Amino acid sequence: MTRGARPATKARFLRVTAVSLAVFLVAFAAALALGAEHVDLGAILRGGGTEAQRAIFFDLRLPRVAAAAFVGGALAIAGVVFQALLRNQLTEPYLLGLSAGGSFGAVVSILALGSHAVSGVWGRTAAAFGGCLLAIVLVYAVASRGGGLRPSTLLLAGVVVNAFFLAGLAAAQFAASPTEAQAILRWVMGGLTAPRDGELLVLAVVVPSSVAVVLALAPRLNLLAFDEETARHLGVDVTRLRRSLFLATSLLTAACVAVSGPIGFVGLFVPHAVRFLVGADHRLLAPSACLAGAAFLVLADALARTAFAPQELPVGIVTAVIGAPAFVFLLARRRGFRETAA
């Protein structure tokens, strides 16, 4: 029996979920304790600490770690869903043009309002979210022509839309002033700063609601491993399922890009790592990947904040440096496992 064939019993579900939650909580606590400035976490939690420490913790560090948890969990579970929808385990959320669309929206706001717009709540968030939604509409409009949402058509539509927005990004950078070009470069590398209330509100509303939809539909994702006819005979409305999951995960990705910019490898590496550990049953994989993605990004962001303090690395660089070799390692291990099993 392969790893993917292990049954998702209630006891195993509770055990895997409990371990995943524990890993996330440890990562979250570690990220709160780490930073360029020392903060006595125990004293603050007891209501003590200096005024400066409380300001650092409550105004800067806690909102940033919370945003990282939201974004990491959202990108990881979106990667799980897109890989199932397209039956392609090399797929991640940004492949469908959502990242490029959001980045293009943010770049337009920088060019229209000046480089200071990159730090504004409504300028950056609204423009990036609008660009993501435009990408969603374009991909959906192209992919749904002729009825249904076929994996191959959806993937091709995403590649085309992604290329379109990347061309727009290149043109914008070419036309930008040096100051604007620096702001654009900082955005497209992906990063997390202390989010404003409006940005946290976007994540706090969109991420839990969309994740709830995905978790409710996760058992049906297992049936997409079969061909469409088999899934339909088993009572699945394949077109409606794909449409619901595509819209939910697209909104997840849009909210993330609106707040953090494009952060790669979370939606690609984390689902593969969790799938290797718990198997391919989406009843286990989806919640575990969500918690693992949140843990991975809060630790990656903590490393980005502290590695070269007081300077900060864009967290997108950290996720790429960690995710790329780790993903290659997982692929090699998986191939070796299959060859041994054969």
208-231 pLDDT, tens per residue? 999 999 999 888 888 876 666 777
Residue 140 belongs to what domain range? 12-341
Residue pair 316/192 in contact by the 8 Å Cβ criterion: no
Q: Which helix (H) or strand (E) holds 249?
A: helix 238-260
State the pLDDT at residue 2: 40
Would you state the pLDDT for residue 325? 86
Helix (H) or strand (E) holding 83, with range, is: helix 62-85
The one-character DSSP state at 59 is: I
Smallest CA-to-CA distance from 19 within 323, 327, 298, 277 is with 277
Q: Does the pLDDT value for residue 336 go beyond 60?
A: no
Please report whether residue 46 resides in a domain: yes
User: Does 5 fall in a domain?
Assistant: no
In a domain, 322, yes or no: yes
pTM reported for the whole predicted model: 0.84
Given a contact cutoff of 8 angstroms between Cβ atoms, the answer to whether 323 and 273 are in contact is: no
Rounded distance, CA 111 to CA 155, Å?
A: 30
Query: pLDDT of 124-174, one tens digit each?
Result: 667 777 888 888 888 878 777 666 666 677 778 888 888 999 898 888 888
CATH number for position 167 = 1.10.3470.10
At residue 336, what is the residue type? G
Whether residue 3 is contained in a domain is answered as: no
In a domain, 222, yes or no: yes
Does residue 121 have a pLDDT over 60?
no
Helices (H), 114-227: 121-143, 151-175, 178-188, 197-221
Residue 326: closest CA among 256, 248, 272: 272
Taking alpha carbons only, the member of 77, 89, 51 closest to residue 216 is: 77
Dihedrals phi, psi of 291, to nearest 5 degrees: -70, -40
Contact present, 288 and 214 (Cβ < 8 Å): no
How far apart, in whole angstroms, are the C-alpha atoms of residue 187 and residue 181? 10
Q: How large is the average pLDDT for residues 64-78?
A: 94
What's residue 247's pLDDT?
82
| Average pLDDT of the residues of the chain | 81
Residue 49 within a domain: yes
Among the listed residues 248, 271, 237, the one whose alpha carbon sits nearest the alpha carbon of residue 73: 271
Residue 4 within any structural domain of the chain: no
Does some domain include residue 6? Answer: no
Residue 19's pLDDT is 93
Structure tokens at 146: 């002729």
Cβ-based neighbour number of residue 296 at 10 Å:
29
Residue 288 has pLDDT above 80, yes or no: yes
Specify the number of domains making up the chain.
1
State both tokens at 134: 């435009």
DSSP state of 176: S
Across 57-81, average pLDDT: 91
User: DSSP 3-state assignment of 18?
Assistant: helix
**Gap between the Cα atoms of 80 and 125, Å rounded:** 25
pLDDT at residue number 117: 45
The whole-angstrom distance between residue 33's C-alpha and the CA centroid of its chain comes to 23
103 and 165 Cβ atoms separated by less than 8 Å = yes
Three-state DSSP class for residue 134: helix
Predicted confidence (pLDDT) at residue 286 exceeds the cutoff of 50: yes
